[in-house]
């Protein structure tokens, strides 16, 4: 596909890198010559210098032949105008990054009037991800599929967990009453494995399990991991993520405190969030955090614009015994190191935004096949969980799984048929209309026919 990325910042560069890796024809537009040189040197892309909201610049970049234009500059207004002009000049699809809460109320109207096919708000998407983690504090990450019927949950195995040290095939026999979940993927020492029956979970492993919501809840209850209920949360940094998150969780009865060092921003937050406690002060000072009751918190989220501050305060919160600590970090290369320090819940707005946009792009590759309905990246992008809706006429329909050719490094994790969740075995088959969840130790899969064939 021909894809035009306007804005060569963190998000734009990461998107271009991923799209080029998936063999799309990518052109980047930006006014900053130095960042364009960096992209030309490191990525297999074309670069055009200029204003992305300028029609002549877009024409120079080939917008009239573009399948998708992605506007990811720092300005919401520029992104919206860019999409409007691009669609008028012939671009087939448009995606705009729109971050300002002021636009959130009228987003549907803006999309309709400006011809924006997808609007992505990184901060709001990140807040939604954090709200899930606060509802399930025992998990490092959680994602739902098949309209919420199936959940994929990541947790770190500890020495005293009853599933540690037992081959997976023997768990049901040795642990009577253990709810049956699928062990979809395990990360150990930086390597990802799709486990078989002989696999043995060790302490320190990051384990991904899949099941329906009732079973997954019962599983973690059996392991004794879901006893914590989050009632008090402290958020470090009064930015947009904290604003959106407070708006989401305060109505759930969770008491929220936001620490903000800027006095004017703290005043503005207190006016827009009357049900939230706003604390004006330096959240990197240990004495201040202690005075404001950090030890009494059920959860702490470090959400400032500085990854280093988030890391240090997150580690301090862990040392103070806060049960659930979440750290915002956009430096993907550091995630393995941070996780090794004991910080399991690492949130990256950049990664969340890219995953959402890549899902949209993959769902529109070509005109045939069974396309991606949902995409979720596991273990820092080393594996992916993808949801497809099986289509009538595809070669795998009605064929037992044991008779299909399934790509190496992939696992058919779950089949959802008419609301019923099936953990499949060799004798099961896929029917048209089924929601199929696969786990793959590679990226770039855009069609279920790429994974399973007759």
The DSSP string of 330-348 is --GGGHHHHHHTT--EEE-
Quick check: helix, strand or coil at residue 180? coil
Question: Which domain CATH number covers 371?
Answer: 3.30.70.1450
Mark whether 436 and 342 lie in a shared domain: no
- Give 199's DSSP letter: -
Q: How would you classify the pairing of strands 277-280 and 410-417?
A: unpaired
Residue 329 lies in a domain: yes
Q: What is the rounded distance in angstroms from the CA atom of residue 395 to the CA atom of residue 361?
A: 24
pLDDT at 130: 92
- How confident is the model over 73-94, as a mean pLDDT? 94
Mark whether 386 and 319 lie in a shared domain: no
Q: How far is CA 133 from CA 129, 137, 282, in A?
A: 7, 5, 25
pLDDT at 337 over 80: no
Please write the tens of the pLDDT for every residue from 229-260.
Answer: 899 999 999 999 999 999 999 988 899 999 99
Q: Is the distance from CB of 31 to CB of 47 less than 8 angstroms?
A: no
List, in order, residues 6 or more apart from 118 with CB less than 8 Å away.
Answer: 93, 94, 95, 96, 357, 360
Count Cβ neighbours within 10 Å for each residue of 374-387 and write b for 16 or more, e otherwise. bbbbbbbebbbbbb
pLDDT at 360: 84
List, in order, residues 6 or more apart from 264 with CB less than 8 Å away.
Answer: none
Lowest mean pLDDT: which of 219-228, 234-243, 415-424? 219-228
Q: Is the distance from CB of 314 to CB of 327 less than 8 angstroms?
A: yes
- Give 226's DSSP letter: -
Residue 429 lies in a domain: yes
Mark whether 244 and 282 lie in a shared domain: yes
Last residue of a domain, one of 51, 85, 120: 120
The gap from C-alpha 314 to its chain's centroid, in whole angstroms, comes to: 20
- How confident is the model over 350-367, as a mean pLDDT? 78
Residue 148 lies in a domain: no
Mark whether 262 and 371 lie in a shared domain: no
Question: Which domain CATH number covers 114?
Answer: 3.40.50.720
Mark whether 343 and 421 lie in a shared domain: no
- How confident is the model over 287-315, as a mean pLDDT? 94
Q: What is the rounded distance in angstroms from the CA atom of residue 200 to the CA atom of residue 374?
A: 30
Helix orientation angle between 349-362 and 10-21, rounded to the nearest 10 degrees? 40
Q: Is the distance from CB of 301 to CB of 236 less than 8 angstroms?
A: yes
Residue 322 lies in a domain: yes
pLDDT at 408: 87
Confidence label for 333 from pLDDT (cuts 50, 70 and 90) = low
Residue 392 lies in a domain: yes
- How confident is the model over 128-140, as a mean pLDDT? 85
pLDDT at 98 over 80: yes
- Give 252's DSSP letter: G
Mark whether 336 and 288 lie in a shared domain: yes
- How confident is the model over 135-144, as a mean pLDDT? 83
Residue 86 lies in a domain: yes
pLDDT at 139 over 90: no
Mark whether 98 and 6 lie in a shared domain: yes
The gap from C-alpha 11 to its chain's centroid, in whole angstroms, comes to: 14
Q: Which helix (H) or strand (E) holds 209?
A: strand 206-212
Q: Is the distance from CB of 166 to CB of 436 less than 8 angstroms?
A: no
Residue 173 lies in a domain: no
Query: What is the average pLDDT score of the chain?
Result: 89
Among the listed residues 295, 254, 296, 292, the one whose alpha carbon sits nearest the alpha carbon of residue 276: 254
Q: Is the distance from CB of 79 to CB of 21 less than 8 angstroms?
A: no
Q: Is the distance from CB of 419 to CB of 403 less than 8 angstroms?
A: no
pLDDT at 366 over 60: no
pLDDT at 370: 64
For residue 373, what are the domain limits? 367-453
- How confident is the model over 104-127, as a mean pLDDT? 89
- Output 376 or 235, whichever has higher pLDDT: 235
Mark whether 27 and 96 lie in a shared domain: yes
Mark whether 376 and 340 lie in a shared domain: no
In the Cβ-directed half-sphere of 82, how many Cα atoms lie within 13 Å? Answer: 32
Phi/psi of residue 148, each to 5°? Answer: 85, 0
Residue 141 lies in a domain: no
- Output 96 or 343, whichever has higher pLDDT: 96
- Give 25's DSSP letter: E
The DSSP string of 299-332 is EEEE--S-HHHHHHHHHHHHHTT-SEEEEE---G
Q: Please report which residue ranges of 98-239 form alpha helices under DSSP H.
A: 107-114, 122-135, 171-174, 213-223
Lowest mean pLDDT: which of 84-88, 110-114, 370-374? 370-374
Taken as a whole, the chain contains a residue count of 454
Q: What percent of the chain has pLDDT over 70?
A: 97
Split into its structural domains, the chain has a count of 3
- How confident is the model over 11-20, as a mean pLDDT? 91
Last residue of a domain, one of 120, 138, 169: 120
- Give 295's DSSP letter: G
pLDDT at 365: 64
Among the listed residues 306, 303, 305, the one whose alpha carbon sits nearest the alpha carbon of residue 325: 303
Where does residue 70 rank: exposed (0-12), middle (13-18), buried (19+ CB within 10 A)? buried
pLDDT at 48: 95
Mark whether 341 and 296 lie in a shared domain: yes
Last residue of a domain, one of 288, 318, 347: 347
Mark whether 340 and 427 lie in a shared domain: no
Q: What is the rounded distance in angstroms from the CA atom of residue 86 to the CA atom of residue 297?
A: 48
- Output 228 or 365, whichever has higher pLDDT: 228
Please write the tens of the pLDDT for every residue from 167-210.
Answer: 999 998 889 899 989 999 999 988 889 998 899 999 999 999 99
């Amino acid at each position: 596909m021909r894809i035009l990325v306007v804005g060569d910042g963190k998000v734009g560069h990461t998107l271009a890198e991923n799209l080029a890796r998936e063999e799309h024809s990518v052109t980047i537009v930006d006014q900053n010559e130095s960042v364009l040189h960096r992209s030309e040197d490191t990525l297999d892309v074309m670069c055009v210098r200029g204003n992305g909201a300028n029609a002549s610049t877009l024409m120079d970049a080939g917008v009239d032949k573009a399948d998708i234009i992605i506007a990811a500059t720092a300005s919401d207004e520029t992104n919206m105008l860019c999409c409007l002009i691009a669609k008028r000049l012939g671009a087939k699809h448009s995606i705009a990054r729109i971050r300002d809460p002021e636009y959130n109320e009228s987003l549907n109207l803006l999309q309709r009037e400006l011809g924006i096919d997808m609007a992505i708000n990184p901060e709001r998407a990140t807040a939604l991800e954090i709200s899930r983690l606060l509802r399930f504090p025992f998990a490092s990450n959680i994602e739902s599929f098949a309209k919420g019927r199936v959940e994929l949950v990541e947790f770190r195995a500890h020495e005293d967990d009853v599933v540690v040290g037992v081959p997976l095939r023997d768990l049901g026999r040795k642990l009577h009453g253990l709810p049956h979940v699928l062990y979809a993927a395990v990360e150990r020492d930086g390597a990802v494995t799709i486990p078989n029956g002989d696999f043995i979970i060790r302490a320190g492993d990051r384990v991904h399990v899949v099941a329906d919501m009732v079973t997954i809840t019962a599983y973690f209850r059996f392991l004794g991991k879901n006893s914590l209920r989050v009632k008090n949360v402290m958020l470090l940094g009064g930015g947009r993520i904290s604003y959106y998150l407070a708006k989401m969780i305060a109505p759930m009865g969770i008491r929220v405190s936001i620490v903000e060092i800027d006095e004017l921003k703290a005043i503005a937050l207190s006016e827009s969030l009357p049900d939230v406690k706003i604390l004006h002060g330096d959240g990197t000072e240990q004495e201040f955090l202690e005075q404001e009751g950090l030890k009494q918190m059920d959860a702490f989220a470090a959400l400032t614009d500085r990854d280093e501050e988030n890391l240090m305060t997150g580690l301090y919160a862990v040392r103070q015994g806060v049960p659930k600590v979440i750290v915002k970090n956009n430096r993907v290369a550091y995630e393995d190191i941070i996780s090794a320090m004991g910080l399991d819940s690492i949130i990256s707005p950049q990664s969340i935004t890219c995953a959402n946009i890549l899902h949209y792009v993959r769902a529109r590759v070509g005109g045939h096949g069974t396309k991606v309905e949902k995409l979720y990246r596991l273990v820092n992008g080393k594996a992916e969980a993808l949801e497809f809706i099986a289509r009538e006429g595809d070669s795998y329909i009605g064929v037992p799984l044991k008779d299909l050719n399934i790509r190496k490094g992939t696992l058919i994790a779950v089949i959802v048929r008419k609301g019923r969740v099936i953990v499949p075995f060799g004798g099961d088959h896929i029917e048209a209309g089924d929601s199929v969840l696969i786990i793959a130790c590679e990226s770039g899969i855009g069609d279920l026919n790429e994974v399973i064939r007759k």
